[in-house]
Structure 1
Amino acid sequence: MDWLALDGTARRQAISAAQARVAGHARVTPVAQLRLGGFDVDVKLEQMQHTGSFKARGAFNNLLTREVPSAGVVAASGGNHGAAVAHAAASLGYPAHIFVPEVAGPAKIAVIERAGATCHVVPGLYADAQEAALDHEARTGAMQVHPYDIPETVAGQGTCFAEWEDQGLDADTVVIAVGGGGLISGAYSWFADRRRVVAVEPETSRALNAALAAGAPVDVPVSGVAANALGAKRIGSICFGLAQGQTSVTVTDDAIVAAQQMLWQEARLLVEPSGAAALAALTSGVYVPSEGERVAVLICGANPAPDPFAES
C-alpha cells in the first residue's frame, strides 16, 4: 500500500479498519477538559496507553496486519516505540528484539525489558539504532516494525483521532508533537480538511519544520530534553507528503520543561518532555489561537527520566 497514493476516503477507511482491528488490544484512553496556563483545552490522555505512549496502536496494527515470521519482530526506537512493539509482541506471542540508542535512558529501557523483549543498547542516536535493527533483520529474517514511515503504523496511530472523535472531540484545532511523523500523519489523514492540525517540534529536533523550509526531507541535528522521543534525524516521507501547507512551529527546551511542570502542578499529570511539547506551543505563545478558536492538545507520552518510581 502506498499511503500517499490513496485518496482521503481510502485513508480514513484504512484507519477505521485499523480501529476495529486493534480494539481490545490498544486501550481506549480518556479525554478531559482542562484549564492550563490560562488556556481552556480539550486533552486526550494518550500517555495512559499501554507502555505509556500512543505507540501501542501502530505496533498492534502492524502485528495484526502483517505475517510475522518465526524470527519474530525487530524495531529501532528512542524508547517508546520499542516498548510498544515489545508489549504487542508479548501479547500476541512473538519474540521481539528492540534496538535503542544510549539516549533512550534507563527508564525507557526498563519498560522495554519489562515487556519481555530483548533490548540492545546501541552507542549513538536513533539513526545508529536503526542501522543495527536493519542488520538484525537482514541476518535473521525478523519483521521490521518501522516507528513512523509505513502505512500500517500510520493507520494504527490514526486510530487515536478516530477514537477521539467518537468521544466527542469538539475543536477547531488539534496540536500534536512530532518526532518522525507517524502520529501526526494519522491526524492529517483522519482529519483531512475538517480540522486544523498544528505540528510542534523542539527547536533542537525539528525534522518536519526543516523539511518544510527546505522543500524536501533533510537531515537535522538532534539534541535536547525530548530527543529520546522526538529525535528523528529526518522526517518520514509519508509525513512530509501530507504536511504540505500545514502549520509547523518549534518550541524551546525551557518551554517544554515549563509545560511538563505545569501538567504536574495544575493537573497532576506526570509526563515526559515529549508529552508536554504540544502544550508548550500554547503556553509559550508560539501558537496563538484566534478569538473563539477551540483548541485540543494530545498528551502523547508518560515515560519521564529518571523514573520517579523505579526500584533503587
Structure 2
Amino acid sequence: MTVTRDDVQAAAHRIVGQVRRTPVLRVSPTLAFKLELLQHTGSFKPRGAFNRLLSAKEQGALTGQGVVTASGGNAGLAGAYAARELGVPARIFVAVTAPAAKVARLRTLDADVVQVGNEYAEAYEAAVAEADRSGALLLHAYDQPEVVAGQGTIGLELLEDVEFDTVLVAVGGGGLIGGIATALGDRAKVVGVEPELAPTLGETLAAGELVDVQVGGVAADSLGARRFGALAFEAVQEVQSVLVSEDSIVAARNDLWREYQLAVEHGAAVTYAALQSGAYQPAPGERVVSIVCGANTDLSTIG
C-alpha cells in the first residue's frame, strides 16, 4: 500500500479542529523552526493518531473496545489523548525503559498503561496480541497509512506558511519523514537526521531494503525504532540521510533552550544538531526549516 498526497490532504481535512496548526519561528532569513513541540501532548504524534481513529470511526471500526498501541512515549501520549477526546478507552504498552515523565503523563490521560519488555519491539508484540484478543483498534506508532498521512499534514502547513528549499526531519520509525516527503513531493528537499547510535534510515537506504538495526543512545526513547516502516520506505527513496553524534545532540538541546527558550527532548534536537555540527551544511542562501518535533523530557536534564 502506498500513501499519496491526496491521502495527506484528506487527513488535513479530517483532523482540522482536533490538532493545533503549530507556528513557524523565523530564526534568520535562511532558517526557521516548525514548532511541533507545541502540538497537543508535546509532539507531532496526535496528527497521525487522530487521523487513524477518525478514519476508523467513519468506517465503524472504532468501537467501545477502544484503542491499543505500543510506544516509547510520544505515540502513546497521542493515542491516549485522541482516544480520550473521542470518548473511547486506550491501553498503551510501553517498554519498562520508557521515561518516567512520559509514563506519568500517560496515566493523566486516563490510559491503561502496561509496561513490558526492554524495547519498543517487545511492547509492540504485546499490543498486537491484546488487539487480537480484545478486538480493540490497533494504532501503530508509525507504520499505518492513516498515521503516515496524518504526520504529513505538517508538510502541507509548511508549504502554506513559509518559503523554504529544504526541511530537516528527525527520523525514528519513519512516519514523520514519510508523511512529510509525501506531502512535499518535489517541492523541496527532505533531509532525514538520525543519531549515530540509531541509524535506522541510513542503514535501510544503504541496504536497499528493510533491515533490523541496533539502536541506542540519548534519543533512543523517541528515535529508537529498530526497523524502518514499510510505508515510509516507499516515500523516502530520494531523501538525504545524515547522522549526528551524541555530543552534538546534547549540545544542540542545551542551545535550543539557552538561545530560544525551547525545552525539547533529545530526539527533537537532532535537526538543529545537524546544522550546528556541520553534519548538514546548507548552500549559500539555502532556506532551511528544522522540524522541532517533541518536548516531552525531564527539564532538570537541560544544561
**Please, what TM-score do these two structures have when normalized by structure 2?**
0.95
Q: Is the 8 A contact 1:52 1:302 kept in 2?
A: yes
Q: Deviations over 1:164-222 (max 9, x none)?
A: 2222x211000000010001011110111110000001111111110111111111111
Consecutive unaligned residues of structure 1, counting only runs of 5 or more, are 5-10
Where does residue 160 of structure 2 map in the other structure? 166
Matches of 1:259 and 1:275, distance apart in 2: 10
Where does residue 138 of structure 1 map in the other structure? 132
2:65 maps to 1:71: yes
**What is the number of residues matched between the two proteins?**
297
After superposition, the CA RMSD in angstroms is: 1.4
Consecutive unaligned residues of structure 2, counting only runs of 5 or more, are none
Where does residue 42 of structure 2 map in the other structure? 52
Where does residue 90 of structure 1 map in the other structure? 84
Where does residue 290 of structure 1 map in the other structure? 283
2:28 maps to 1:29: no
> Displacement, 1:308?
4.5
Matches of 1:264 and 1:307, distance apart in 2: 10
SS in 1 for 2:34: strand
SS in 1 for 2:99: helix
Where does residue 246 of structure 2 map in the other structure? 253
Q: Is the 8 A contact 1:41 1:295 kept in 2?
A: yes
AA matched with 1:53? S
> Displacement, 1:249?
0.7
Matches of 1:151 and 1:245, distance apart in 2: 20
SS in 1 for 2:172: coil
Matches of 1:98 and 1:263, distance apart in 2: 31
Matches of 1:270 and 1:226, distance apart in 2: 15
Q: 2:32 aligns with which of 8, 20, 42?
A: 42
SS in 2 for 1:175: strand
AA matched with 2:83? A
> Displacement, 1:307?
4.7
Matches of 2:97 and 2:247, distance apart in 1: 19
1:201-216 maps to which residues of 2 (within 5 A)?
201-216=194-209
Q: Deviations over 1:249-303 (max 9, x none)?
A: 1111111111100100000000000111111111110011111111110000001
AA matched with 1:30? P
Which range moved further: 286-295 or 45-54? 286-295
Q: 1:301 aligns with which of 280, 294, 302?
A: 294
SS in 1 for 2:25: strand
SS in 1 for 2:198: coil
> Displacement, 1:140?
0.7
Q: Is the 8 A contact 1:207 1:217 kept in 2?
A: no
Q: Is the 8 A contact 2:48 2:146 kept in 1?
A: yes
Runs (4+) off by over 4 Å: none
Where does residue 80 of structure 1 map in the other structure? 74
Matches of 1:258 and 1:204, distance apart in 2: 16
Change in Cα spacing, 1:260 to 1:40, as seen in structure 2 (3 Å) is farther
Seq. identity, %: 48
